[in-house]
Structure 1
Amino acid sequence: MTDSTTRRGYEGNGEGSLQGRVVAVAGAAGPAGQATLLRLAEEGATVVACDADAERLAQAVDAARFAHGGATVTGDTVNLLSLEETRAWADKTEKEFGRIDGLVHLVGGWRGSASFAETDLSDWDTLHNLLVRTLQHTSLAFEGALKRAGDGRFLLISALGASKPTAGNAAYAASKAAAEAWTLALGDSFRKAGGESGPAAAAVILVVKALVHDQMRADRPNAKFAGFTDVEDLAKAVADTWNEPAEELNGTRLWLTPNP
């Protein structure tokens, strides 16, 4: 991690509207996905969600529609481990709505061990698929549409562990670090495509220590969740990335937890 790819203390102004934009959310059925769908719909975006869990996805999409009457929120069950399915989802979205202004990559997962020596290498295989392969597929599938949109955003949600790995989280931290490197490479593609005028799209990494939501607080009322990012704050940070120029955001890390 270098200073040239790091931004500290980011805060959006919350005043930007996403009216008219089309934003895709990969891995939308979990708590972070639900909060992101709600926020994007509130900001006026057309939201196209996908997840492998059809039932949870339908619940998330219905909740966003119900909370914001008139909002266009759709859901597709997509196997992001298939490049062909991912490309088909991107092509279908652009054809139906005429543009794609953003891809928010929320696909997550965790595996760990009590010590470095006890690391199970099968965890690497699982996390490589969840955290790296799905990202590779969404970036390859959506790159062209994000460039064509004129102000596209590719947003990866990453973790502090990518830059500060711990002994029992070797597979997880390495997977997150690989995902960050891939995203920065996409940012370089945007930079090169923009030429002297600067990139029209931005690849951005949002870094959290971990995420917390209301149900976690209810389940563990005595826990402090120090340094954790609330999923609603994450969703706001996602929406706020359209409030800054792509040239300033592209290839950067936005820290939503203290930068080590």
Structure 2
Amino acid sequence: MDTNGNGALDGAVIAVAGAAGPAGRATLLRLAEAGATVVASDADPVRLAEAVDAARYAHGGATVTGDTVDLLDLAAAREWADKTEKEFGRVDGLIHLVGGWRGSASFAETDLADWNLLEKLLIRTVQHTSLAFQDVLQRSDRGRFLLISAAGASQPTAGNAAYAASKAAAEAWTLALADAFRKAGGEEGLTSAAAILVVKALVHDAMRAERPNAKFAGFTDVKDLADAIAGVWDQPAQEVNGQRLWLTPKP
């Protein structure tokens, strides 16, 4: 683990969408620790401010900023990307952590209102951030777009139809971005990449405290996810572009 600010993330400018949740907090801390300038966004300004302050205090001297951005608005997402590049001179990564879950007891009991919500949270925000950040990431010598996805996208269960379908659509959209990066690299080779980090589910300390007897088998701790996110910058773009990077056994 790089704690000296001398690795692949030293001096990088990384945008984190959905930064106020437990995974976002762990990621902000890890990126700040690695020497990156971190630009966090979330729809919840209070929780976002708390996450940004925690990362700043944990790593004195780190640049961690927060923007309240409505990622359901493409214009707002573009404005965030343009503002970030203008302020810091570059953007080297977009990490998509916007999440949400809805499910049912059976396939027949699926509520299509769940799909309406998840389509916005899990697909629309991916579309908007990828369209907004594609050009600025291509201008970077180490641009990365990272989607956090779930194993259920590859093996849906009966009660998770809306969730799994939303995740699968987000994965397909991200792989299309990866193809765009591949084509933009041309003969000179890739410098930017889009990849998917796949987990079964995430767990954090508060969940363990609430359910001390639960085993959370196959779950990925948010700190381990943050390490895996940071580690993507240690790998060449051509090795990660268009890849599903599994943090849990494949189904």
> Which TM-score band applies after superposition, normalised by the shorter structure?
over 0.9
CA contact (8 A) 2:193 2:241 kept: yes
Give per-residue Cα distances to partners, 1:19-38, cap 9 Å, x unaligned: 11000000000000000000
Are 1:104 and 2:95 an aligned pair? yes
Aligned-partner SS, 2:156: coil
Instruction: Name the CA distance, whole Å, in 2 between partners of 1:43 and 1:185.
Output: 29
The Cα of 1:197 is off from its aligned counterpart by: 3.0
* Of 189, 192, 215, the match for 1:201: 192
Partner of 2:43: 52
The Cα of 1:13 is off from its aligned counterpart by: 9.0
Instruction: Name the CA distance, whole Å, in 2 between partners of 1:32 and 1:20.
Output: 22
The Cα of 1:196 is off from its aligned counterpart by: 2.2
Give per-residue Cα distances to partners, 1:191-229, cap 9 Å, x unaligned: 000112332101000000000000000000000000000
Return the TM-score normalized by structure 2: 0.97
Partner of 2:30: 39
Partner of 1:188: 179
Partner of 1:95: 86
| Residue ranges of structure 2 left out of the alignment (5+ in a row) | none
CA contact (8 A) 1:17 1:44 kept: no
Partner of 1:68: 59
Q: What amino acid is aligned across from residue 42 of structure 2 in structure 1?
A: D
User: Which runs of 4 or more aligned residues in structure 1 lie more than 2 Å from their structure 2 counterparts after TM superposition?
Assistant: 12-17
* Of 125, 140, 146, the match for 1:134: 125
> RCO (CA 8 Å, sep 6+): is it higher in 1 or 2?
1
Return the TM-score normalized by structure 1: 0.94
Are 1:225 and 2:216 an aligned pair? yes
Q: Percent identity?
A: 76
- Count how many residue pairs are aligned between Structure 1 and Structure 2: 249
Aligned-partner SS, 2:19: coil
Instruction: Name the CA distance, whole Å, in 1 between partners of 2:209 and 2:8.
Output: 32
Structure 2 counterparts to residues 19-38 of structure 1, below 5 A: 19-38=10-29
Instruction: Name the CA distance, whole Å, in 2 between partners of 1:210 and 1:175.
Output: 15
Structure 2 counterparts to residues 112-131 of structure 1, below 5 A: 112-131=103-122
Give per-residue Cα distances to partners, 1:68-121, cap 9 Å, x unaligned: 000000000000000000000000000000000000000000000000000001
Structure 2 counterparts to residues 162-173 of structure 1, below 5 A: 162-173=153-164
CA contact (8 A) 1:13 1:240 kept: no
Instruction: Name the CA distance, whole Å, in 2 between partners of 1:198 and 1:252.
Output: 17
CA-based RMSD of the aligned residues comes to 1.2
Partner of 1:5: none
Partner of 1:3: none
